[in-house]
Amino acid sequence: MNEKVHFLEKQQDFDQVIQQIANEQWIGFDTEFVGEKSFVPRLCLLQIATETDIYLVDCLKIKNLDGFLKILENPETLKITHAGDNDYRLLYTLFGTTPSNTFDTQIAAGFVGYNYPAGFGRIVDKELHITLAKSHTVADWEARPLDAKAVEYAIEDVKYLSKLHEKLTSKLKKLKREAWAKEENIKWEDAEFYTVTPDKEFYNNDLVFQLSEREKLFLLRLYRWRLDTAKRMNLPKEQILQSKLIGSVAKAIKSGPSAIKSNRTLPEGLWRRNYDQWAELWKSPATDAEAALLKSLPKQAPDDPEREWTMDLLYHFIKKQCIEHEISAALLFPRGDFNKLKSGSDDFDPDFLKGWRAELMGKPLVDWLLRGNEIMMTWPETGKCELTMKAR
């Protein structure tokens, strides 16, 4: 593996390289960005690997990436990534790009016995017997010139992608799971995968069920205010108002500035800077759109210990299937998504009960998950535990 490494800092050189590799059968790629300083992360470095070369593209100097984006969109070129959804999310945010034909080593590893999500270094170590010098995962990618160790890290991130693709593809073929991995990667080709509901944080906050209607309205507005302010100032939302403080503001606002001031969890500079805006959000009457949104909120489901026990039992069946087939449970059915099914949330993605997942879990288990009926457990004299689902 003696690929030549090229540093690209000029648009003309980058465009020429892209023309050369546009017809390659495959490329490996990765991105390095800084996300803790601005609302939209800043793309700093793009690493591209081919069979013979590795290109480090300085995205602080090279602004037009159109040629590369066309390669990502070209179904004739295989793109090899590791945790590529993070890179694609950024590229979609910046350029509206959706990829075609991706093989992701992290997803593939989850189908052949690795926990999901497995780190790149661990997979390289186990599959290629190479230990990576992963010491610069938090490098300052905006710094120029780049630190030598950061450059080494950037090269390692793409250097072994092709060999991993070969190894993992071979294992997928033996297990007849190539189509399963492809099914997961195809999700990234749909723009809907990258869209985020603006009020998602509000919907997901269990505090909603503890608040009065007026307090709910304020909480909704507080999340929107944070988002709008972060966009306007180009700062991360956490720098505007930390998520852990939102509940404190929502509960204290109705009692006025004295309650805000006496709340020791709220930094003085924060509430002094923003109280007038928060007070206005509290006082203003609901618009028709806001009232309709609040009216559409689902009611908190009553406690149902029997259903909770049933669904938890079924999740253990899912984990057992994963153990027997050496597939990561976090890849098959992430616990957070399972909890949405368990609670009856409208936000549950029904695709988790289709495709390769349904094939692996089996029709009876999928039917039980969908129906959610009470499970009866009996212990006959044989000593064997028998489970049956009670008809509704």
In this prediction, residue 63 carries a pLDDT of: 95
Query: Which band of pLDDT confidence, cut at 50, 70 and 90, is reported for residue 342?
Result: confident
What's the whole-number mean pLDDT along residues 10-26? 97
Using CB atoms within 10 Å of the CB of residue 155, give its burial: 0 to 12 exposed, 13 to 18 middle, 19+ buried: middle
- Mean residue pLDDT of the chain comes to 93
In this prediction, residue 134 carries a pLDDT of: 64
Whole-number Å distance between alpha carbons of 318 and 359? 12
In this prediction, residue 307 carries a pLDDT of: 83
CATH topology of domain 305-389: DNA polymerase; domain 1 (1.10.150)
Cβ atoms < 10 Å from Cβ of 138: 8
Output the pTM of the full model.
Answer: 0.90
Residues 6+ apart with CB under 8 A from 144: 58, 60
Residues 6+ apart with CB under 8 A from 241: 222, 226, 249, 270, 274
Residue spans per domain, the chain: 4-194, 200-295, 305-389
What are the tens digits of pLDDT across the range 105-125? Answer: 999 999 999 999 999 999 999
pLDDT at 237 over 90: yes
What are the tens digits of pLDDT across the range 251-283? Answer: 999 999 999 999 989 999 999 999 999 999 999
Based on C-alpha coordinates, what's the Rg of the chain?
A: 25
> 186-198 burial, b if ≥16 CB within 10 A, otherwise e?
eebeeeeebeeee
Distance of CA 152 to the CA centre of its chain: 26
pLDDT at 336 over 60: yes
In this prediction, residue 383 carries a pLDDT of: 76
3-state secondary structure of 391: coil
pLDDT at 309 over 60: yes
The candidate with the shortest Cα–Cα distance to 123, out of 152, 151, 81, is: 81
By the 8 A CB rule, do 114 and 326 touch? no
Whole-number Å distance between alpha carbons of 274 and 280? 10
By the 8 A CB rule, do 375 and 310 touch? yes
Q: How far is CA 311 from CA 246, 308, 338, 366, 370, in A?
A: 31, 5, 9, 12, 10
pLDDT at 137 over 80: no
3-state secondary structure of 5: strand
CATH topology of domain 200-295: DNA polymerase; domain 1 (1.10.150)
Which pair of structure tokens corresponds to residue 30? 């990765």
pLDDT at 138 over 80: no
Better-predicted residue by pLDDT, 103 or 197: 103
Asked if the domains 200-295 and 305-389 are classified in one and the same CATH topology, the answer is yes
What are the tens digits of pLDDT across the range 60-95? Answer: 999 999 999 999 999 999 999 999 999 999 999 999
Instruction: Classify residue 129 as left (phi > 0), alpha (psi -120 to 50) or beta.
Output: left
pLDDT at 355 over 60: yes
For the domain made up of 4-194, the CATH class stated in words is alpha beta
What are the tens digits of pLDDT across the range 88-105? Answer: 999 999 999 999 999 999
Backbone angles phi, psi at 152, to 5 degrees: -60, -45
Query: Which band of pLDDT confidence, cut at 50, 70 and 90, is reported for residue 304?
Result: confident
If you search the block for the tokens 């992963």, which residue do you land on? 134
By the 8 A CB rule, do 77 and 24 touch? yes
